[in-house]
Chains A and B, each alone.
Chain A
Amino acid sequence: MSAPMSDPGSPPPICVVEDSPVDLDLLRHAFRRRRLANPLTVARDGEEALAGLERWARGEEPVPAVVLLDIRLPRINGLEVLRALRAHPDCGRIPVVMLTSSADDADIRTAYESGANSYIVKPVDFDRFMDVAEQIELYWCVLNQPPASVFTSGRSPRDEDSAR
């Protein structure tokens, strides 16, 4: 995956779609403590996220390395954003990690069926929150390689449970 409009010197941003200022702030702190070089771009609801998608497609903004997507969002929820993103002709291949409070089986299944690359339940424990930030960084930003299963969504619900 390439980022056509981005400066080759600076790493691609991480896009966070999150309505909760607390969660957003904690995530910033977590990334900051990990000394992550990637800048954070923020969408505060589903509509903003879709607007950002258009800007990436038009090349007005750099395409993010990964989108961290909450499910419960005002106006347009995260699953709809995910489906719109996957259906987009230009930006359909951007990796998406669901980062949400919901541990609901139905949400997890729907997310993977709609093309999520990973599903992470936001941990309450801040240490574990840090672990999550580390995983995201390591897997999606440092390696910067979308896994082979991105567009096949071949994972079964059982696997998803254990992924939690």
Chain B
Amino acid sequence: MTRDASPGIRRGAAITALGITLIYLVLGLMWIGFSDRALLALVDDVEWLSRLQTGKGWAYVVVTAGLLFVLIHRALAARDRAAAEAGRAARIIDHSPVLAIEWEARDGWPVTYVSPNAADWGLDREALLAGDPDYASLIHPDDLPSIVEEVQMHLAHGPDRYTQLYRLVLPVLGTVWVEDRTWLSRDTDGRVTRIHGVLLDVTERRRLELERQRQMERLERAERDAGLGSWEYDPVNGFWWSDQLFRLLGRPPDGPEPDVATLLERDLDTESADGPRLAATLRGMAAGTPPQSQYLHVRRHPGRGPETWLRFGIQRASSFPGESPGGAWRVQGTALDITELHQAELELRAFNADLERRVERRTAELQVANQELESFSYAVSHDLKAPLRGIEGYSQLLEAEHAGRLDDEGREFVRNIRQGVAQMNELIGDLLTYSRMERRPLEQRRIRLRDLVGETLRALEPEYPAAATTAIDVPDELEVETDPDGLGLILRNLLENAFKFSAGRDEPRVRVAAQRRTSVVRLEVEDNGIGFDEAFRERMFEIFQRLNRAEDYPGTGVGLALVRRAARRLDARIEAEGRPGEGATFRVELPQ
């Protein structure tokens, strides 16, 4: 700009200078002609005339010199001011990131001006002005066709100001995104003479935009895969919905967000599940009341497509700092597709109901079975004992009233019959106790263990008189919370066993011990009797399991089965330890 002014500017300056010169010529000649005539007419004296002529000449020169000074000074000052101004503008451009450029509007767009900061862009200014390379060759080949077309359109039809976004491939900086703001100069005929542009490097902005777009795509993909839509609401702007929410509600994603009333009427079935509460909450929001944070289940309006259930998450959020247009509060929400979950829940509920029915039926069946078992016990007690009573009664009558007609062997037979009856009677009694145990109601009482042990031993005394040296190692103060009858039965059977199986020893010894552990009370009954093989540890608790011959150790084979059943009813654990010939220890752990 400073180096060569345009031809137009030059012509204007010449015309102005010529005009001023001509005016000066005319005025000067007129002044000479007029003043000479006036002097000739006024002064006759030749000497005076000659002096005045000289003075007039001097005065003319002085005035002319004054005028010259004024004119030249003005012109020079203006020129200096313009130069300073131009220099300032050039420096600003020099330091700005903006590249100013001017093209001639003809083929190849030869560059007619480039701002001096071209070097910052890695461009050689002189080379560019010389057309090597030409500007079009810098434009990314993918962008060039559309750029050319667009420029042609603007040249032909306007508008004369426009902005283009394209890539330049620069020798040093590589690919750079530029925003090109362009305006056109036209001559009086409307033909474009010059194209002016300022280029802004927007690579970073473009990168951020792409990054943002990628993030949005990721979010979009995540929402789509998860079936999770998101939304926001504030009192001023109303709803914002994510694309996925539009899809969940069966709406095209490019449509506008509906208002609350439309949403409730067209998109949701407000009668379903939490529908009424959701409707109340959303209406409250529309009326300016911030909602409480919550999750609500609602069905999509049947008109929106196949059955779909949504879980709406409503989360109160404060508005962004410094961004007040949203108003005082803001809601961040989600909407999750829970159709499958809902279906599963329904199925589970149906399954549970079915299970309930089956359990009821089973329970009824069990009750019937129990009743049958009870009447069986009753039959056992009545019908089995009745003939036994006959056998026993008549055997004794035979013995008492007809003994004379029997020889020794006959009497031995009668005794054997009565012994069999006694055993059978005991067996039936044990069986009844065993089958009745489940029906007996449990009682929960606090008892002193030592008292119970003492009572049980006293009760056994007539049956097992002085059977063994009995040691009781139970602390006086030890109390247990349990069903006294159940524990009594366990203790009686274990002690009976201990007495029975140690009876053959030279010094039979039985020991009852108890102590409190962390969460249980442990009770042990130990004897030095015949013991048992480890292999029978579990089996000996089964009903009718006998480890020894009946003639050696009489019994029904029900005792330990009774003990285990009673222990189970008390939630107690029972175990046995023993060795053949070395005694046995039975251990009961009562939960406390």
On whether the beta carbons of A127 and B396 are closer than 8 Å, the reply is yes
Q: Report B434 CB to chain A, min CB distance, Å.
A: 14
- Given A102-B381, A122-B385, A124-B421: A129 and B432 within 8 A (CB)? no
Could you tell me which residues of chain B, from 194 to 234, have a CB within 8 Å of some CB in chain A?
Answer: none
Q: Are B381 and A101 in contact (CB under 8 A)?
A: yes
Q: Are A129 and B378 in contact (CB under 8 A)?
A: no
* Contact of B385 (CB < 8 Å), options: A26, A101, A126: A101
B393 touches A26 (CB 8 A): yes
Contact B390 A22 (CB under 8 A): yes
| Across-interface contacts of A125 in B (CB, < 8 A) | 392, 422, 425
Min CB distance, B556 to chain A, in Å? Answer: 15
- How far is it, in angstroms, between the C-alpha of A104 and the C-alpha of B394 when the chains are bound? 26
| Chain B nearest Cβ from A116, distance in angstroms | 17
In the complex formed, the residue of A with least CB distance to B389 is A124
B71-124, CB < 8 A from A: none
Q: Is B446 an interface residue (CB 8 A)?
A: no
Return the CB mask of A117-128 against B: 1 if under 8 Å, else 0: 000001111110
A100–B421 CA distance with the chains assembled, in angstroms: 19
Which of B382, B394, B397 has most chain A Cβ within 10 Å?
B382
Report A-chain residues with C-beta under 8 Å of the C-beta of B388.
124
Check: A103 CB closer than 8 A to any chain B CB: yes
Whether A90 is near chain B, meaning CB under 8 Å from some CB there, is no
Interchain CA distance A26-B391 in the complex, whole Å:
10
Whether A72 pairs with B393 at a CB distance below 8 angstroms is no
User: If A124-B388, A124-B425 touch, does A102 touch B393 (CB 8 Å cutoff)?
Assistant: no
The yes or no answer to A23 lying at the interface (CB within 8 A) is yes
Per-residue interface assignment for chain A, residues 13 to 57, with 1 indicating a CB less than 8 Å from any chain B CB and 0 otherwise? 000000010110110010000000000000000000000000000
CA distance A132 to B378 in the complex (A): 22
Query: Which of A101, A124, A125, A126 counts the most chain B CB atoms within 10 A?
Result: A124
Is B387 located at the chain interface by the 8 A CB criterion?
yes
Which B residues between 420 and 438 are near A, CB-CB below 8 angstroms? 421-422, 425, 432
Docked complex Cα distance between A103 and B436 (Å)? 11
Structural contact, B389 and A22, CB atoms closer than 8 A: yes
* B386 interface hit (Cβ, 8 Å): yes
Contacts A103-B381, A122-B385; is A26 near B390 (CB within 8 Å)?
yes
For chain B, the count of residues having a C-beta within 8 Å of the partner chain is 21
Are A26 and B381 in touch, CB under 8 angstroms?
A: no
Over the window 241-274 of chain B, the binary record of Cβ atoms lying under 8 Å from chain A Cβ atoms (1 yes, 0 no) is 0000000000000000000000000000000000
| A102 to B425 alpha-carbon distance, docked (Å) | 14
A129 touches B382 (CB 8 A): no
Cβ-defined contact, A103 with B389, below 8 A: no
- Smallest distance from the beta carbon of A96 to chain B beta carbons, Å? 19
The answer to whether B390 touches A101 (Cβ under 8 A) is no
Which A residues are CB-close (under 8 A) to B395? 126
**A72 — nearest CB in chain B belongs to which residue?**
B382
Partner of A23, one of B381, B386, B421: B386
Q: If A124-B421, A125-B425, A126-B397 touch, does A26 touch B389 (CB 8 Å cutoff)? A: yes
Give the chain A neighbours of B425 by CB distance below 8 A.
124-125
Question: Of B383, B385, B393, which is within 8 A of A29 by CB?
Answer: B393
Asked whether, in the complex, the Cβ of A101 is within 8 Å of the Cβ of B386, the reply is yes
Q: Count contacts on A: residues with CB < 8 A to the other chain.
A: 19
Q: Are B378 and A126 in contact (CB under 8 A)?
A: no
A122→B485 CA distance, assembly (Å): 24
The chain B residue with its CB closest to the CB of A30 is B393
Please determine whether B396 and A22 come into contact, CB atoms closer than 8 angstroms.
no
Known: A20-B386, A124-B388, A124-B389. A29 touches B397 (CB 8 A): yes
The answer, among B382, B383, B387, B392, for a CB contact under 8 Å with A126, is: B392
Nearest chain A CB to B381 CB, angstrom units: 6
Nearest Cβ distance between residue A94 and chain B, in whole angstroms? 25
Residues of B within 8 A of A123 (CB): 389
Please, how many angstroms separate the alpha-carbon atoms of A26 and B422 in the complex? 17
Task: Take A22-B390, A126-B392 as given contacts and tell me if A103 and B432 are in contact as well, using a CB distance cutoff of 8 Å.
Answer: yes
Instruction: Write the chain A residue with the least CB distance to B439.
Output: A105
Q: Using an 8 Å CB-CB cutoff, how does the interface string of A78-113 with B read, 1 for contact, 0 for none?
A: 000000000000000000000011111000000000
Residues from chain A with Cβ under 8 Å of B387 in the complex:
22
Per-residue A-contact encoding for B341-380, CB less than 8 Å = 1, 0 else: 0000000000000000000000000000000000001100
Return chain A residues, CB-CB under 8 Å to B394.
26
What residue of chain A has the Cβ atom nearest to residue B393's Cβ?
Answer: A26
Kindly report which residue of chain A lies nearest to residue B390, judged by CB atoms: A22
Residues of B within 8 A of A29 (CB): 393, 397
Residues of chain A within 8 A (CB-CB) of B382 are 72, 100-102
* Neighbouring A residues of B432 by C-beta, 8 Å: 103
Q: Which residue of B lies closest to A103 (CB)?
A: B381
Say yes or no: B386 contacts A22, CB within 8 Å. Answer: yes
Taken together as a complex, chains A and B put the C-alpha atoms of A123 and B382 apart, in Å, by: 11
Give A22's nearest chain B residue, CB to CB. B390
How far does the alpha carbon of A25 sit from the alpha carbon of B386 in the complex, in Å? 12
Indicate the member of B388, B393, B396, B397 with the most A CB atoms within 10 Å.
Answer: B393
Q: Which residue of B lies closest to A33 (CB)?
A: B400
* B383 CB contacts on chain A under 8 angstroms: 101
Chain A nearest CB from B260 CB (Å) reads 69
Q: Can you list 19 A-B pairs, Cβ within 8 angstroms, ordered by A?
A: A22-B387, A22-B389, A23-B390, A25-B393, A26-B389, A72-B382, A100-B382, A102-B378, A122-B385, A122-B389, A124-B389, A124-B421, A124-B422, A125-B425, A126-B392, A126-B393, A126-B397, A129-B389, A129-B393
Please name 7 further chain A to chain B contacts, defined as beta carbons within 8 Å, in addition to the given A101-B385, A102-B382, A124-B392, sorted by A numbering: A23-B390, A25-B393, A122-B385, A124-B385, A124-B425, A126-B397, A129-B389
Q: Which B residues contact A (CB, under 8 angstroms)?
A: 377-378, 381-383, 385-390, 392-397, 421-422, 425, 432
